Structure 1
Amino acid sequence: MNNTQTFIETKEYKRFAEFCDACIKYQYMGICYGLPGVGKTLSARQYAQWDYLVKQINYEKAEWMGALADEKILDYHTLFYTAPPVSATKLTSAINVMGMRFNMVKDVYRVRIGEKEMNTSNAFEGIHLIIVDEIDRLKLHHMEQLRDIYDKHDLAMIFIGMPGIEKRLARYPQLYSRIGFAHEFQKLSKDEMHHILEYKWDELGISIKREDFTDYEALTSIMKITNGNFRLIHRLFTQIERILEINHLTSITTEVVEAARNSLVIGRK
């Protein structure tokens, strides 16, 4: 089996990226909301290149700082932060530390290639955008701390949450007045699901044959079960891969799909 995961740039991701670019251009706050599992978090992490960056900034010892950095580090300017249920002071501190580590790693790399001498960067120097996920967890005093960061620095900020968060934030006029853009993250279209499912087949090392009724039937079954939910597609295929391996199977059938479905807890989509 091929375990390599490829990020697929759907139309919705491209719309999200355009939304982020617009927030940066005008230095606005923005709201992104959508149902669970449609791909909000995955898209935000991809836009920020966070899977790469988090490895750079989560060093445990000072001598490891910048050890993994390469030229790509200089191209990225977005922080991604998942809001935890903590005090407002800890929230601000966590974002500051993240920004400081990000810039220190950049500085170490610049020193290594001879661009500059080492000095202490501002936590938000060169940061163009902060994306805050799971914004539904936060209360007014948390939001005030985020507004304070936004007001003090020349950057954009995007809040990601569930449908209805845009109405909740409207109750905070000082914050809401700074919001310039809103983006509703939609579930996958039928054509996009076909495209993604072909990739998922390939990741399992199996070629999908549309003219084969067994493949067509399995494809249709998966589309019905997942209903355009990006996260559910990934969860379902994790179970499909497990079932194929356990039973030494080389094709995806409706029986395999149903067995995978029965291994999941699937709520309303």
Structure 2
Amino acid sequence: MNKSPKLSNTASLPQSTGQRSEMVACEPFAPLSVFMETAEYRRFVQVCEATRRYRYISVCVGSPGVGKTKAAHRYAQWDLFGPLLSAQGMVVPPSFASDCPLPRTALYTPRPTATPKSIEQDLVLLQWGMQMIADAARSRSEEMQPRSAALCPGAVDLLVVDEVERCSHISLEVLRDLFDRYPVGLSC
């Protein structure tokens, strides 16, 4: 049985072959970006919070399609902060509200062809960009609030690396070196 979308408008178009073709306009539907907070997502949040707090290395595994990437995007608020970073390493001035939480989690997805050197460069740019976003938001917050109430967060304290299986053994050593040198939690 073929289920078609609910039709709200149809119109016939003339065809030279004598057949009718219909142009169909469908009713609006829920956006694909709807996110449901499941028990697994809450567990993912708990792991990320422990990784951040205690500066652990954590690994989240699951079958393809279960929502690991979506969970990471949601947790890092990447729909809000990700677009502020451009491909050239520049930072777009933030336009979010002053009461919005500052970025504390960076999300990184290595390219399939990434080399250890390119991963290291990408991570330096990512950390720099996230710090610039936090600094810009902090200065905006300081302009709007009395000095005593200004936010003073540190740099990014959790790095989530998505699709880490793309990384070679040497690239994984780059991530481990970053973890050893900086006070950052690492979730892969």
TM-score by length of 1: 0.51
1:20 aligns with 2:24: no
Structure 2's unaligned 5+ residue stretches are 1-27, 144-153
1:139 aligns with one of 168, 172, 176: 168
Structure 1's unaligned 5+ residue stretches are 116-124, 160-269
Tell me which residue corresponds to 1:81.
Answer: 108
Q: Distance in 1 between matches of 2:162 and 2:39?
A: 21
Comparing both structures, which one devotes a greater share of its residues to helix? 1
Tell me which residue corresponds to 1:2.
Answer: 29
1:26–1:60 distance in 2 versus 1, CA, 3 Å: closer
Tell me which residue corresponds to 2:22.
Answer: none
Q: CA deviation at 1:133?
A: 0.9
1:154 aligns with 2:183: yes
Percent identity for Structure 1 against Structure 2: 29
2:121 aligns with one of 93, 96, 101: 93
1:6–1:97 distance in 2 versus 1, CA, 3 Å: same
The higher radius of gyration belongs to 2
Contact 1:53 1:73 in 2 (8 A): no
1:2–1:60 distance in 2 versus 1, CA, 3 Å: farther
Q: CA deviation at 1:30?
A: 0.6
1:32 aligns with one of 57, 60, 65: 60
2:95 aligns with one of 59, 62, 68: 68
Q: CA deviation at 1:17?
A: 0.6
Any idea what the Cα deviations from partners look like across 1:19-67, whole Å, max 9, x if unmatched? 11111121110111111001111101111011111122228796x7314
Contact 2:130 2:156 in 1 (8 A): no
Alignment length, in residue pairs?
149
Tell me which residue corresponds to 1:54.
Answer: 82
1:44 aligns with one of 72, 76, 87: 72
Q: Distance in 2 between matches of 1:69 and 1:58?
A: 17
Q: CA deviation at 1:100?
A: 0.8
Any idea what the Cα deviations from partners look like across 1:68-88, whole Å, max 9, x if unmatched? 243355433001111222111
